[in-house]
């Protein structure tokens, strides 16, 4: 994980040296890291959903019937 | 001057137990009774003043169906001031009256906790029966919908026709930040069936204004049952909203609507051309477009996105709160906070909707559905995705998907647990809940605007609470501390 973050950081740092507008480039770098973090979180989340999802999804959905609501 | 925007939120929960052959009325009754029987003393609901058929527009409309009051089903009043009962074929929790949208979020979440405690109580009481499971959503994905109703205290001085004109543009467009999301469609109203909708409820609405709640559902409900002094107040009953799992969605839904109602009373609504030519069609087409690009036509012939209309409303509200303080929301810091979050949310919806995965239910749900579909290369109609759509709303922590997406929380777990038994201090719910806790033997029944005491030899004594702003902790805490009995309390109240 640390290695992957490092790989992503290196080119972004060189970008910022070439650009006058440090602030906006810094923003893009942060966004890249955030997206990586989000993707890793999402992978974990999908693993968890695989575990807790109703085993017989089709039957569960079919049986979920609610009548008489307002 | 706007009246205090007291807020209540009522949720009809989805319920299953075993297979489709189980009777939802019986299951709901078992659930409510399992919880109520665990309380110190079961106090019933008093139906004396119920009149859900009264129409805010005056005489009853020909052919209109007033909701039934079902007096025989399980019914309990809780010491937090809420009502927990069986409505039609669903367990329903009606929150106590709350003074701020944040307090309403707390008591809405306390309702979820009550339902979780009820599921546990039912399991303990009937260990051999199939597990009862409760869902906080609004449709069974097969064309059956059940509601999450909002209530707001309004001044009687505002004409009902102005309420409708003033609030409809917001009700139609606010779903972009408080829709709960769902796959596909369940009614034949769309020419082209959407893959995903922003709102669970929107497609079920067929009228702009009306009294019904189960058929021909209206965007603005005309039930004129103020549960308070009818000379001074209205209770605006809105049936359009989705049940939210995300605190921020609930907070914004209630906060923005309450502020706009205060502005209506103060004559501060924007005069821009944002009234919609066909609100019923607009509420559906906005729901059917998660790209947020679709336009709806205004009375003046302009084509606007839901976001454009929301920006107009939000800007006007920001100016109103800056000049008037927004004290109708109970606290000026709350009004300012609602506006700030509203602005940030609209900004994010415009530029980066995915960044709202922790704040907005339809975005959180869509994100996990899309990712799951990608990972397993599923067809859009796969039953696993449909199961996820339902399971997002499962109230069991071990199964709930919304518990897992990292939703931002505005209230703590400790505060929620406390709010299952303690009433809000800032409305008459405080007096209702405190009397129930203090005099469980003497309070024989309760409803929103009165308590009935049995003091022994005398006839039953009704204590009216016609002003929802009285009976607060500030008004009655001292009195309740001083009296030694229910007899003394009633005697002191009558002097």
Q: CB distance B404–A46 less than 8 Å?
A: no
Chain B residues closer than 8 Å to A70 by CB: 12, 67, 87-88, 146-147, 149, 213-214, 239
* Residue B66 pLDDT grade (very low, low, confident, very high; cuts 50, 70, 90): very low
Nearest CA in chain B to A67: B144
If you ran DSSP here, which 8-state letter would residue A67 be given?
Answer: -
Q: Is the pLDDT higher at B340 or at B70?
A: B340
Spatial neighbors of B112 by CB under 8 A, at least 6 apart, are: B136, B395, B416
Chain B residues closer than 8 Å to A34 by CB: none
* Residue A2 pLDDT grade (very low, low, confident, very high; cuts 50, 70, 90): very low
**pLDDT, tens only, B437-449:** 999 999 999 999 9
* Residue B329 pLDDT grade (very low, low, confident, very high; cuts 50, 70, 90): very high
**Percentage, residues of chain B above pLDDT 90:** 85
The residue extents of the domains of chain A are 29-64
The structural domains of chain B, ordered by start, are 7-417 (3.30.590), 425-494 (no CATH)
E-strand stretches of chain A: none
Please tell me the distance from the alpha carbon of residue A65 to that of residue B405, in angstroms, as a whole number.
26
Please tell me the distance from the alpha carbon of residue B455 to that of residue B486, in angstroms, as a whole number.
7
Phi and psi (nearest 5°) for B298?
-90, 170
> Which one, of B102, B103, B82, lies nearest residue B93 by Cα?
B82
Q: Is the pLDDT higher at B277 or at B222?
A: B277
Q: CB distance B390–A60 less than 8 Å?
A: yes
Q: Does A3 touch chain B (CB under 8 A)?
A: no
**pLDDT, tens only, B107-128:** 999 999 999 999 999 999 989 9
CA distance, residue A50 to nearest chain B CA (Å): 9
* Residue A40 pLDDT grade (very low, low, confident, very high; cuts 50, 70, 90): confident
Q: CB distance B87–A70 less than 8 Å?
A: yes
Q: What is the pLDDT of residue B38?
A: 82
Q: What is the pLDDT of residue B475?
A: 94
**pLDDT, tens only, B285-305:** 999 999 999 999 999 999 999
Nearest CA in chain B to A56: B384
Phi and psi (nearest 5°) for B217?
-65, 135
CA distance, residue A47 to nearest chain B CA (Å): 9
pLDDT reading at A26 higher than 50 = no
Q: Are B95 and B111 in contact (CB under 8 A)?
A: yes
Catalytic option among B46, B55, B87, B389: B87
Chain A residues closer than 8 Å to B19 by CB: 63
pLDDT reading at B382 higher than 70 = yes
Q: Does A54 touch chain B (CB under 8 A)?
A: yes
Q: What is the pLDDT of residue B41?
A: 67
Q: CB distance A54–B147 less than 8 Å?
A: no
Query: With a CB-CB cutoff of 8 Å, which residues 185-214 of chain B face chain A?
Result: 213-214
Q: CB distance A65–B15 less than 8 Å?
A: no
Q: What is the pTM of this model?
A: 0.91
Q: Using CA of residue B468, residue B431, residue B107, residue B426, what is the dihedral sign?
A: positive
Q: Does B144 touch chain A (CB under 8 A)?
A: yes
Q: Are B378 and A57 in contact (CB under 8 A)?
A: no
Please tell me the distance from the alpha carbon of residue B404 to that of residue B402, in angstroms, as a whole number.
5
Q: Does B393 touch chain A (CB under 8 A)?
A: no
pLDDT reading at A24 higher than 70 = no
CA distances in angstroms from B60 to B52, B57, B224, listed in the order given: 12, 8, 11
What pairs with residue B133 in β-bridges?
Answer: B16
Active-site residue B87, yes or no?
yes
Please tell me the distance from the alpha carbon of residue B118 to that of residue B78, in angstroms, as a whole number.
13
Please tell me the distance from the alpha carbon of residue B202 to that of residue B212, in angstroms, as a whole number.
15
Exposure class string for B56-78: b at 16+ Cβ within 10 A, else e: beeeeeeeeebbeeeeebbbbbb
pLDDT reading at A13 higher than 60 = no
Spatial neighbors of B280 by CB under 8 A, at least 6 apart, are: B205, B206, B207, B208, B219
* Residue B74 pLDDT grade (very low, low, confident, very high; cuts 50, 70, 90): confident
Please report, in angstroms and rounded to a whole number, the separation of the first and last CA atoms in chain B: 32
């Amino acid at each position: 994980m640390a290695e992957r973050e490092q790989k992503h950081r290196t080119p972004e740092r060189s970008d910022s040296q070439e650009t006058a507008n440090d602030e906006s480039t810094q923003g893009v770098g942060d966004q890249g890291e955030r997206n990586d973090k989000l993707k890793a979180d999402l992978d974990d989340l999908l693993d968890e959903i695989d575990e807790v999802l109703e085993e017989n999804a089709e039957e569960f959905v079919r049986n979920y019937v609610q009548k008489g609501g307002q | 001057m706007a009246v205090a925007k007291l807020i209540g939120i009522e949720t009809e929960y989805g319920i299953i137990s075993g297979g489709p052959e189980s009777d939802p009325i019986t299951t709901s009754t078992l659930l409510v009774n399992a919880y109520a029987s665990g309380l110190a003393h079961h106090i019933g609901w008093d139906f004396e003043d119920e009149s859900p058929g009264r129409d805010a527009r005056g005489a009853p409309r020909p052919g209109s169906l007033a909701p039934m009051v079902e007096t025989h089903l399980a019914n309990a009043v809780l010491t937090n001031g809420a009502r927990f009962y069986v409505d039609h074929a669903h367990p329903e929790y009606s929150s106590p009256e709350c003074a701020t949208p944040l307090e309403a979020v707390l008591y809405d979440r306390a309702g979820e906790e009550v339902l979780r405690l009820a599921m546990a109580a039912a399991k303990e009481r009937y260990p051999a029966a199939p597990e009862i499971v409760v869902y906080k959503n609004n449709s069974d994905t097969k064309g059956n919908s059940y509601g999450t109703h909002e209530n707001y205290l309004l001044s009687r001085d505002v004409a009902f026709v102005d309420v409708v004109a003033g609030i409809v543009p917001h009700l139609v467009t606010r779903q972009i930040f408080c829709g709960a999301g769902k796959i596909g469609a369940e009614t034949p109203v769309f020419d082209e069936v959407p893959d995903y909708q922003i709102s669970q409820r929107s497609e079920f609405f067929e009228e702009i204004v009306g009294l019904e709640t189960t058929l021909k559902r209206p965007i603005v409900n005309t039930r004129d049952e103020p549960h308070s002094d009818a000379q001074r107040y209205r209770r605006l009953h809105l049936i359009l909203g989705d049940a939210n799992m995300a605190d921020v969605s609930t907070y914004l839904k209630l906060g923005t609507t309450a502020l706009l109602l205060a502005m209506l009373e103060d004559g501060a609504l924007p005069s821009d051309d944002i009234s919609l030519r066909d609100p019923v069609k607009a509420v559906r087409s906005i729901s059917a477009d998660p790209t947020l690009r679709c336009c709806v036509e205004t009375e003046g012939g302009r084509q606007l996105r839901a976001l454009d209309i929301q920006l107009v409303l939000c800007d006007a509200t920001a100016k109103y709160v800056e000049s008037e303080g927004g004290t109708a929301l109970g606290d000026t810091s709350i009004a300012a906070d609602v506006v700030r979050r509203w602005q940030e949310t609209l900004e994010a919806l415009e530029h980066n909707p995915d960044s709202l995965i922790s704040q907005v239910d339809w975005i959180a749900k869509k994100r996990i559905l899309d990712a799951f579909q990608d990972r397993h290369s599923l067809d859009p109609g796969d039953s696993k995705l449909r199961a996820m759509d339902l399971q997002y709303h499962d109230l069991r922590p071990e199964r709930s998907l919304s518990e897992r997406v990292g939703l931002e929380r505005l209230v703590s777990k400790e505060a929620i647990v406390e709010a299952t038994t303690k009433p809000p201090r800032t409305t008459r719910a405080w007096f209702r809940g405190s009397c129930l806790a203090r005099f469980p033997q003497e309070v024989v029944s309760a409803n929103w605007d009165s308590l009935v005491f049995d003091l022994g030899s005398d006839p039953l004594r009704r204590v009216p609470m016609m002003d929802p702003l009285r009976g607060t902790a500030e008004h009655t805490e001292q009195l309740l501390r001083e009296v030694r009995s229910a007899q003394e309390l009633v005697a002191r109240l009558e002097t």
